[in-house]
């Protein structure tokens, strides 16, 4: 079977790791920052060298296309080039570099294809500089209002609109991907979790993205002096919060073992070491592929008493998303190709969100995962061995060619 080039793959990884290099094995490449623009320039330079036609839309998404032999809708592959602060060299960028390598293989090996093939770079996937995450795929699929997104500010007060205009990558709204002109998106991504490595699998066949809920709980007690208030008179909101968290863990653990849940943010007020906490807020993020399990999670939340340890308890949903199932035929292509290359593989759902999840609303989409060493991601330790990156690129290439032939 045809293979992408491991030498070229390595060169791409090494080259792109310089844009935003922290010097400690990772990168800080915030969306539309000078470092991100360097990465974009390098991407476009390489695409031009391959004879690809480059367009950008009004959200600065980049579409680089190899023309097809027939007048047909295009097949898309790609991901994002931006990172979080002190992020790694694999999240997002690997989806772009494997797509670029697959395109380069098609061009240099003169592999015939009927459909145009487009490598896409989505703007501001991370939402690390301008909130929210998956901003541009969200705008073009109607999830977010563009005017609201343009007003999003970074910590220096720069708006997304200002950064877009200064980037040189803002194109015409006409250039946005039109669902009639595209028949597929395949996004390769690092798993960002420990499962593939632990199960000794090269390729993750991603069936969809798990549904999730995000709640905020508020416990309200009474701030009093830490020295003069006997324990029995206290209304300690932080102590009450630990009881709620403990209860939720106990109950959730009785549900399906694939359920994951997290309290990632907690704030105490007044947050002074000599004062009993008066108000404590904490979040609860819960994810599972089966909506029934999520429903049970919500039922458990609703059963939390409104008074705990003499404190008042309330909760509200901050946001939620439904489970997304990817396009079955393309999911099957990924599995078939992993088998044909004799790479080990397994089916799984993505816990994190990805651009493909929004795009799958408007065109048939799927994803390919490759392992993350020790499950590390969104940190400088993020790593995937070169051989695994090449395997991912090969499966991506064959999947694109299968879609082309169907
Ligand atoms: Zn990503």
Quick one: CA torsion of 145, 320, 243, 281, rounded to 10 degrees? 0
Residue 342 predicted with pLDDT over 90: yes
**Would you state the pLDDT for residue 84?**
96
Whether 17 has a pLDDT exceeding 90, the answer reads yes
CA of 332 to the centre of ligand 1 (A): 23
pLDDT-derived band of residue 252, with 50, 70 and 90 as boundaries? very high
List, for residues 175-204, the tens digit of each pLDDT value. 999 999 999 999 999 999 999 999 999 999
CA 75 / ligand 1 centre spacing (Å): 20
pLDDT above 90: residue 379: yes
Contact 85, 30 (CB under 8 A): yes
Number of structural domains, the chain? 2
The Å distance, Cα 80 to ligand 1 centre, comes to: 7
Average pLDDT score over the chain: 97
Quote the ligand 1 centre to 26 CA distance (angstroms).
14
286, 302, 321 — which closes off a domain? Answer: 321
State yes or no: pLDDT of 319 exceeds 90.
no
DSSP SS3 for 396? helix
Whichever domain contains 330, its CATH number is 3.40.630.10
Residue 370 maps to a domain: yes
Distance from residue 203's CA to the centre of ligand 1 (Å): 17
- Taking the centre of ligand 1 as the mean of its atom positions, its distance from the CA of residue 164, in whole angstroms, is 20
C-alpha of residue 36 to centroid of ligand 1, in Å: 14
Q: What are phi and psi of 360, to 5 degrees?
A: -65, -15
Q: In this prediction, what percent of the chain has a pLDDT beyond 70? A: 100
Instruction: Tell how far the Cα of 156 is from the centroid of ligand 1, in angstroms.
Output: 24
CA of 204 to the centre of ligand 1 (A): 15
Q: How remote is the CA of residue 264 from the centroid of ligand 1, in Å?
A: 19
pLDDT at 161: 98
Claim to verify: residue 184 and residue 248 sit in the same structural domain: no
64 CA to centre of ligand 1 in angstroms: 19
- For the cut 90, the answer to whether the pLDDT of residue 269 exceeds it is yes
The CATH number linked to 272 is 3.30.70.360
Q: What integer is the mean pLDDT of 315-324?
A: 93
Report CA(209)–ligand 1 centroid distance (Å).
13
Q: How far is the CA of 112 from the centre of ligand 1 (A)?
A: 30
Enumerate helices (H) and strands (E) in the chain, giving the number of each.
Answer: 12, 15
Domain final residue, candidates 293, 321, 349 = 321
d(CA 373, CA 360): 28
CA of 348 to the centre of ligand 1 (A): 17
Instruction: Please give the distance, rounded to the nearest whole angstrom, from the Cα atom of residue 352 to the centre of ligand 1.
Output: 8
How far, in Å, is the centroid of ligand 1 from the Cα of 237? 37
Share of the chain above pLDDT 90, in %: 99
Residues 159 and 48 in one domain: yes
Distance 234 CA to ligand 1 centre (A): 46
Q: How far is the CA of 400 from the centre of ligand 1 (A)?
A: 20
> What is the distance of C-alpha 140 from the center of its chain?
17
Q: Tokens in use for 228? A: 């003069």
Give yes or no for residue 238 having a pLDDT over 90.
yes
Q: Are residues 317 and 336 in the same domain?
A: no
Instruction: Clarify whether residues 215 and 198 are in a common domain.
Output: no
For residue 94, how far is its CA from the centre of ligand 1 (angstroms)? 9
How far does residue 190's CA lie from ligand 1's centre (Å)?
8
Centre of ligand 1 to C-alpha 153, Å, is 21
Residue 212 has pLDDT above 90, yes or no: yes
CA of 91 to the centre of ligand 1 (A): 5
Q: Do 272 and 340 belong together in one domain?
A: no
Tell me how far apart the alpha carbons of residues 224 and 373 are, in angstroms, rounded to a whole number. 48
Q: How far is the CA of 99 from the centre of ligand 1 (A)?
A: 14
366 CB-near residues (< 8 Å, 6+ apart): 184, 185, 186, 187, 206, 326, 327, 330, 331, 333, 334, 356, 360, 399
53 and 180 in a common domain: yes
Residue 260 placed within a domain: yes
Same domain as 223, residue 177: no
Q: How far is the CA of 105 from the centre of ligand 1 (A)?
A: 24
Same domain? For 140 and 191 the reply is yes
Ligand 1: centre distance to CA 125 (Å): 7
Q: 106 C-alpha vs ligand 1 centroid, how far in Å?
A: 25
Could you give the angle at which helices 93-108 and 386-405 cross, rounded to 10 degrees?
A: 60
Tell me if 139 is assigned to some domain.
yes
Token pair in block for residue 182: 């595209």
Show the domain range for 250.
211-321
The whole-angstrom distance between residue 158's C-alpha and the CA centroid of its chain comes to: 24
Total length of the chain: 406
204 and 241 inside one domain: no
Residue 223 sits in the same domain as residue 114 = no
Last-in-domain residue among 321, 336, 366: 321
Within a domain: 1: no
Does residue 249 lie in a domain region? yes
The answer to whether residues 156 and 39 belong to one domain is yes
Are 173 and 295 part of one and the same domain?
Answer: no
Model confidence at 112, in pLDDT bands (50, 70, 90)? very high
Q: How far is the CA of 390 from the centre of ligand 1 (A)?
A: 18
Phi/psi for 227 (5° steps) reads -95, -35
212 burial (CB, 10 Å; 0-12 / 13-18 / 19+) is buried
């Amino acid at each position: 079977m045809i293979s992408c080039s491991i030498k070229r793959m390595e060169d791409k990884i090494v080259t792109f790791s310089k844009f935003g290099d922290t010097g400690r094995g990772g990168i800080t490449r915030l969306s539309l920052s000078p470092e991100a623009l360097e990465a974009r320039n390098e991407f476009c330079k390489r695409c031009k060298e391959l004879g690809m036609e480059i367009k950008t839309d009004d959200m600065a998404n980049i579409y680089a296309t190899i023309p097809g032999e027939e007048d047909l809708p295009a097949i898309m592959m790609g991901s994002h080039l931006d990172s979080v602060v002190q992020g790694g060299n694999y999240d997002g960028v690997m989806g772009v570099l494997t797509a670029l390598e697959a395109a380069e293989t098609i061009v240099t090996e003169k592999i015939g294809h009927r459909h145009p093939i487009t490598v896409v770079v989505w703007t501001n996937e991370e939402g690390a500089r301008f909130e929210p995450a998956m901003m541009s795929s969200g705008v073009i699929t109607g999830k977010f209002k563009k005017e609201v997104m343009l007003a999003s500010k970074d910590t220096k007060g720069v708006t997304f609109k200002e950064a877009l205009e200064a980037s040189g990558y803002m194109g015409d709204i006409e250039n946005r991907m039109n669902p009639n002109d595209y028949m597929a998106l395949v996004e390769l991504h690092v798993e960002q979790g420990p499962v593939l490595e632990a199960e000794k699998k090269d390729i993750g066949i991603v069936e969809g993205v798990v549904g999730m809920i995000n709640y905020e709980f508020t416990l309200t007690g009474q701030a009093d002096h830490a020295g003069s208030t006997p324990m029995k008179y206290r209304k300690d909101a932080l102590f009450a919060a630990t009881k709620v968290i403990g209860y939720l863990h106990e109950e959730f653990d009785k549900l399906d073992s694939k359920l994951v849940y997290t309290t990632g943010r907690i704030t105490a007020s007044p947050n002074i070491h000599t004062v009993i906490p008066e108000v404590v807020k904490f979040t609860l993020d819960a994810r599972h592929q089966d909506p029934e399990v999520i429903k049970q999670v919500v039922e458990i939340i609703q059963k939390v008493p409104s008074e705990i340890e003499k404190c008042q308890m309330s909760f509200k949903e901050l946001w939620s998303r439904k489970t997304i199932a990817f396009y079955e035929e393309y999911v099957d292509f990924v599995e078939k190709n992993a088998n044909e290359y004799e790479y080990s593989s397994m089916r799984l759902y993505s816990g994190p969100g990805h651009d493909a999840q929004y795009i799958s609303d408007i065109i048939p989409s799927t994803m390919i995962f490759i392992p993350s060493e020790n499950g590390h991601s969104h940190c400088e330790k993020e790593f995937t061995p070169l051989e695994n990156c090449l395997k991912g690129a090969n499966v991506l290439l064959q999947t694109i060619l299968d879609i082309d032939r169907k």
